[in-house]
Structure 1
Amino acid sequence: MIDQAYDPNVPLLEKLRFLAIASNNLDEFFRVRMHNIHTLVDEHKSERRTGYSGKEILGLAYEYNRANILRQYAAYDNLIKESADRGLFHLMKYHELTDEEKKTVKKFYNKKLVPRLDMQRFAEEYKFRKNLYFLMKTPKYNYVCPIPEDMDRLVETGVDNHYILIEDVMRHCSKDLIRKYKISKMIVFRATYDKNKPYDFLDKNLTDEQYLNTMINYVDTRDLREIMRVEFSGEDEQKGREYFSKLLGINKKGVYKIPGPVDLKFLGGFFKRYKTHKDMVFPKFKALEWNSSKNILQYLNNSPIFVQYPYDSFSVFISYLEAAVNDPKTTKICITIYRTEENSDLLRLLQEAAAKGIEVTAVVELRARFDEVHNIEVAKILKKAGVRVLFGDKVNKVHSKICLALHADGTGYVQIGTGNYNAITANVFSDVSYFTSDQRYIDDATKFFNYLVTGEKKPYQLFATSPNGIAEMVVKNIKKATAAYLRDGQGEVFMKINGLTDVEIINAIYAAAEKGLPFRLIVRGTCSLKLGVCGPKEDIRVKSIVGELLEHSRIFKFQYGNSHTDIWISSADMMTRNLERRVELAVPVVEEKPRRQLLKIAKMFWKDTENSYFMNDEGTYAKKDEKHGFSAQQSWINRLEWRKYIKTN
């Protein structure tokens, strides 16, 4: 994300937005993942995939993050200057304000900010529940004062397009406060806590009611845990790191000096204010919708539909569900829900279906991290409407994306996707979705939901599911492709995933690569696979695609010599938690029309150079310098100009 802020093809405001997203992503990492490293340190253990000790990993994380911070803030400085040079906006320092502007911000300070100040003497048990704080040093005590979160960090100065950060206003207008408390130093900082409280109550024997009540209690009692990171500005780096390390009892490798404003998420405020400047944002495009003159279910009776969000609108799924709700033949609707937006059409339609007497079963996964409260509310709303609400596997998260509409005779329709049923994220997440009436998929989907309801497992004709089944399928198909490659001298494995960390999958790739089988891997996020370790026959290429849209689809392609090729879509990444501790779904696309579409999509993704970062043997990523690069995302956006609806012929 940070690198996007250096890309000359990315508009100015989008660069600022990418810097804000990078800050948000890093926050999530420290809140959710960093505790794993601290656990290794505390327990004097090593990470099993790399052999590194906890202390070594913590040191590497610090150095890597420190380098990222320097690069992020160098981009920030350049973009703030460019914004001013282009007459868009000015982010001012206090000393740059005119006398009239200083009067304006002092008035803001006295009338709006002073009544909200809440200075408290620092104590060891103090919990930093707000985002930003001032630490105020006095001869006798230290005080902390939160910066109000419900107030905009961007304060208008009274001159059009001139802003100053709220912490700068407070720092320079608080002379009375300084005199009263004899404050010698004011330091802006924030503490990031571990919020990944374990679900240590999981038990497959819990009833749905017990499970719901336990989850409600979990949310109500979840509190801030250990501090994972401290960021500060306005202080010498070495002294500041030592000071905060001792003050808050955190390893120095968790303390970072920030060369600018702490937390750049406020840059999203500039994006919202100025996004009407069309030359400074990505051009808007209108996603394709279903042709409302055609009944989508009648179409599915004769042909499957394959769509790719956000080029195709999420409303296609809503059209499918609405048609199923209004179809007199529909007797059952079954769906898995992981994350959905507030006031969604999905929930409205499920409520309508229940009101019509359709038997609706919604498997609502309450353990969608930080969406637990929303999902509990979703469960309550649906249950009140007469929907049969289940929580599926009480031990393994239900992360699958599937919606089944059944007739009394067992025929019907099914939709299977790689992304959540969320109309908002579907505008920026690149995912695929497959709609069909093929009885093989209907029968497997029926078995899948029966498993979620009863726990009874039956063999599938097409589906592969986790726990364990998807890993087994992938390893089996890699071995099959390897055998065909040795026989024919042809073959390939393609994967587009968000993470590759599972040891079993990586070892299967290594074993096949030693024999020469080519691998083409697109891994958006964490990749634990190393290049250059499989000998002279190794032909593995790894890249990550980062562009205007967030790549989220999971696609697997297995070419078996010159005989045939299988291509799959899945909700699962090649990460141990997905493969062993979640209920995930992978399906082969066997119908010819969507199969051809998906093969083209995979080919376009691998052809991409414009937004691709290629991994080298050292594990670092870089773009290839090409005069005429190719962007898969922009190609699909450009094609929307001559497509009116979802293609139906």
Structure 2
Amino acid sequence: MIIFRLLRTIGNYMMNSSNKQHETAATIPPTAQDNRMTANQALIELEGLFDEKGKFTPNCYINRDLSALRFQLRVLAQAANPNHPLLERMFFLTIFSSNLDEFFEIRVAGLLQKMKQGDQVSSLDGRKPSEILQIISKIAHGAVDEQYRMLNEDILPELAKHEIRYLKRDELNDKQRAWMKEYFVSQVMPVLTPISIDPAHPFPRLANKSLNFIVTLDGKDAFGRDINLAIVPAPRSLPRVIRLPDELTGGKDHHVMLSAVIHEYIGELFLGMTVTGCYQFRLTRNADLALADDVDDIAKALEGELNNRRFGQKVRLEVTTNCPQQISEFLLREFALDSSQLYRVNGPVNLTRLLTSFDYPRLKFSPFTAAIPKAFQGLNKADTGSMFATIARQDVLVHHPFHAFSPVVNLLWQAANDPDVLAIKQTIYRSGVNSEIVQALAAAARNGKEVTAVIELRARFDEASNIAVANMLQEAGAVVVYGIVGYKTHAKMMLIIRREAGKIRRYAHLGTGNYHAGNAKAYTDYGLFTANEEVTEDVAGVFWQLTGMGRPLPSKQILHAPFTLHDTLMRLIDDEIAHAKAGKVGRVIMKFNALTERKIINKLYEASQAGVQIDLIVRSICCLRPQVAGLSENIRVRSVVGRFLEHTRVYYFANDVQNGGQERLYCGSADLMDRNLLHRVEVAFPILDKKLFKKIYEDGLINYLKDDTQAWELSGTGEWYPVVGGTHNAQSYLLNKISLNIK
């Protein structure tokens, strides 16, 4: 399959740096020939792993950006998976587009900036930004070509068999064509603004990722000018996919693209002139926001930066395959881009907008009803105080999306209406203005509770929404703070202070994911409800640090970045090293989204060399090389890509449990990245209840290590191989074990 060849190509690039001093020799695992990973992957041997002082060299690391791109290829591979329902394959195809957009907006844009600032080595693997960009360009071009091949040769023909079609202009009958013209005249033409390219009308400033058309013309305009080029931006208010009326299709799901409508009738915008060509294109810009650490008002500063995001540095140009070379070259010159930044696509330039809502259950994943934990069954948001009584008796665990998000919302509503609740404190990273979480907090403030919301305005691409949430809560009477300048508040915490029998008692919810009901249906995340005095006291301390000043308070149970989380993880790995060196079993299992932090990687290498058995379940980026002789032969890395986005963060350390030691297991909000561990406010919380500990260990870790249908394993070369030929699907197992009404 082409997608697997792309994955291997990145691996080859990772192993063959153009910098001769970093060249390595590798023995490719014998199972690589058919892109399969066996249960016992062969070790590889690499040269130049250690310098003359015995320290790790750049050869020990996988490039961060190339690893991120490999994750996008694993997502794209889902679109080719025949075991996925057809519309889900289409969904993965569009998700790949959205992910690749962000990759260019953030990662490629950052590399371009670094290259312009001196092109100095800044990556773990010792490559310069220019080298990485060359590799990304080659791989991304191949991936986009494969994406559109899958769309045109696999997905669209299969959809057509179910009468779901995207009609081309020459496929319309006379009645449909007449309807399309009326639609253009009445709905599209009034909001279009053609812009001629001439000395009085320089090339317009086009917004990031907007759909545009470049039109070639012949003849004179109303003022007698010879103008041969014009730009027509497509307003974002117009739908990109237009469903034809049922009476014209017999009730079938037939659509036309906005680009086809505009292309067909573009001449109506240039009366008296001849349109000789019309070509759609899209420009991608740098979308990262740059805020100084000394801003006076972060909300106002962000509002200013959000507008700049739409017009950041140009990084990519997409045109359709029928665009003439002279036109694409003209656009490249206009945008100051080179040919490597041009992407020709055989279809719409933005597949993210292609997917519409189809009512075809048989073409989607089987529906399910998320379960309610036994401890909360029968309780709802109107049962004032009932959830507090339950949590006071026992810790309660939810595992989304297999468990419903409603207990989180219900607890907040109970708190908002409970006369015994005095205060509520909550972090908000991504929630949305229409969120019940936000509505409950606002209601609590209006009911006289002391509500404090720590809102992280800099949650990427949710900045505007978070500003709106802040304004809404402030209007309701809540105290809103924006955390610590220079440190994103990424921790997921809710703290409720209640008076019971004349005494103060705290209740907390701690999670690995955002307080967002939509995410809770699509992302796998853990949430813990607890009234444990030490844990809730620690949470209160974190909130005091976020809203006040002073030195960090000592924690009894939770780990808190940027103060204790990194160092404690290092110490816990050191403990496993000590056990292994003493002839005992050293064991580490960790699950997270990304691993880039050098000290953690080095410590894991050290643990492997000491004999510690390490399993890492990594959703996306991994800069560690597993299964390398003399370096990491005791480390295995796998990634599970399936129906739900894997988002849980779990850290397990055996701690000589065979000889009476106390196992340790933490869940948290932090990935093992520099920014999370050292430059953000993060929280990792222990699982103290033995039954809940066992659930997470078995369902959240061992279950995923058994997956042999949707898992991938990473080799020391940097290549990912699908684990095939099995029957255990970790996500399906949890759906059947926890959820209800599987159909």
When normalised by structure 1's length, the TM-score is: 0.92
Match of 2:171 in 1: 96
Shift of 1:219: 3.9
Paired amino acid for 1:126: P
For residue 638 of structure 2, the aligned residue among 528, 543, 552 is: 543
Match of 2:237 among 143, 150, 158: 150
* Contact 2:421 2:497 survives alignment (8 Å): yes
Alpha carbons of structure 1 residues 251 and 527: separation in structure 2 relative to 1, 3 Å = farther
Residue 53 of structure 1: how far off its partner (Å): 1.3
2:713 equivalent in structure 1: 614
In structure 1, what is the Cα distance between the partners aligned to 2:631 and 2:540? Answer: 47
> Residue 512 of structure 1: which of 600, 603, 607 is its match?
607
Aligned match of 2:109 in 35, 38, 45? 35
Select the residue among 701, 704, 711 that pairs with 1:602: 701
Cα distance in 1 between the residues matched to 2:688 and 2:98: 39
Instruction: Tell me the distance in 2 between the aligned counterparts of 1:448 and 1:406.
Output: 15
Match for residue 264 of structure 1?
Answer: 351
CA distance in 1, matches of 2:585, 2:618: 23
- Shift in Å at residue 151 of structure 1? 2.4
- 1:53 matches 2:136: no
Decide which of 528, 533, 536 is 1:442's aligned counterpart: 536
Q: How far apart, in 2, do the equivalents of 1:252 and 1:225 lie?
A: 20
State the 1:221 CA deviation: 5.8
What amino acid does structure 2 have at the position aligned with 1:80? L
Number of the residue aligned with 1:647: none
Whether 2:86 is the aligned partner of 1:12: answer yes
Q: Is the 8 A contact 2:493 2:509 kept in 1?
A: yes
Change (3 A) 1:176 1:214: closer
- Answering whether residue 598 of structure 2 is matched by residue 467 of structure 1, we say no
State whether residues 231 and 258 of structure 1, in contact with CA within 8 Å, keep that contact through their aligned partners in structure 2: yes
Instruction: Supply the distance in 1 between the matched residues of 2:291 and 2:739 (Cα, whole angstroms).
Output: 48
Unpaired runs of 5+ in structure 1?
A: 645-649
Aligned pair partner of 1:577 in 648, 669, 675 = 675
Inter-partner Cα distance in structure 2 for 1:397 and 1:146: 36
Aligned-pair RMSD on alpha carbons? 2.4
CA deviation string 1:38-64 (max 9, x = no partner) = 012212222331211111111111112
Number of the residue aligned with 1:498: 593
With 290-299 and 184-193 compared, the bigger mean Cα shift is at 290-299
Which residue of the partner structure matches residue 622 of structure 2? 527
Q: Tell me the equivalent position of 2:444.
A: 353
Query: Does residue 1:80 correspond to 2:121, yes or no?
Result: no
The 1:108/1:355 distance shift into structure 2, 3 A limit, reads closer
How far does residue 306 in structure 1 lie from its aligned partner after superposition?
A: 0.7
Q: Is contact 1:24–1:265 with CA below 8 Å preserved after alignment?
A: yes
- Structure-2 change in CA distance of 1:107 and 1:330 (3 Å): closer
Within 5 A, what are the aligned runs for 1:190-205?
Answer: 190-202=282-294
Contact 2:512-2:648 at 8 Å conserved across structures: yes
- Maintained 8 Å contact 1:31/1:192: yes
- The separation in 2 between residues aligned to 1:634 and 1:545, in whole angstroms, is 12
Provide structure 2 residue ranges, at least 5 long, that are not aligned to the other structure. 1-74, 219-226
2:44 alignment counterpart: none
Distance of aligned partners of 1:220 and 1:162 in 2 relative to their CA distance in 1, 3 Å threshold: closer
- Work out which of the residue numbers 556, 560, 568 in structure 1 matches 2:655: 560
- 493-502 or 467-476, which moves further after superposition? 467-476
1:179 Cα offset (Å): 7.5
Number of the residue aligned with 1:225: 312
The secondary structure found in structure 1 opposite 2:355 is: helix
Matched, 1:277 2:360: yes
Task: Report the identity percentage.
Answer: 28
- Corresponding position of 2:426: 335
Whole-Å separation in 1 of the counterparts to 2:577 and 2:482: 40
Q: Which residue of 2 aligns with 1:453?
A: 547
Match of 2:210 among 108, 111, 131: 131
SS in 2 for 1:544: strand
Describe the SS at the equivalent of 1:301. helix
| 1:423 is the counterpart of 2:517 | yes
1:372 Cα deviation from its structure 2 partner? 2.0
| Structure 2 residue aligned with 1:71 | 146
Q: How does 1:170-209 map to 2 (within 5 A)?
A: 170-175=262-267, 180-202=272-294, 206=296
User: What is the CA-CA distance between 1:232 and the residue it aligns to?
Assistant: 0.6
> Are residues 176 and 218 of structure 1, via their aligned partners in 2, closer, same or farther at CA, if it must alter by over 3 Å?
closer
TM-score (norm 2): 0.81
Q: CA deviation at 1:211?
A: 3.7
1:4, 1:18 within 8 Å by CA — same for their partners in 2?
yes
Does the alignment pair 1:164 with 2:256?
yes
What is the one-letter code of the residue matched to 1:507? Answer: N
**Matches for 1:378-393 after TM superposition, within 5 Å:** 378-393=469-484
**Cα separation, 1, equivalents of 2:111 and 2:279:** 28
The question of whether the paired residues in 2 share the 8 Å contact of 1:178 and 1:184 is answered with: no
- Residue 436 (structure 1) shift: 0.9
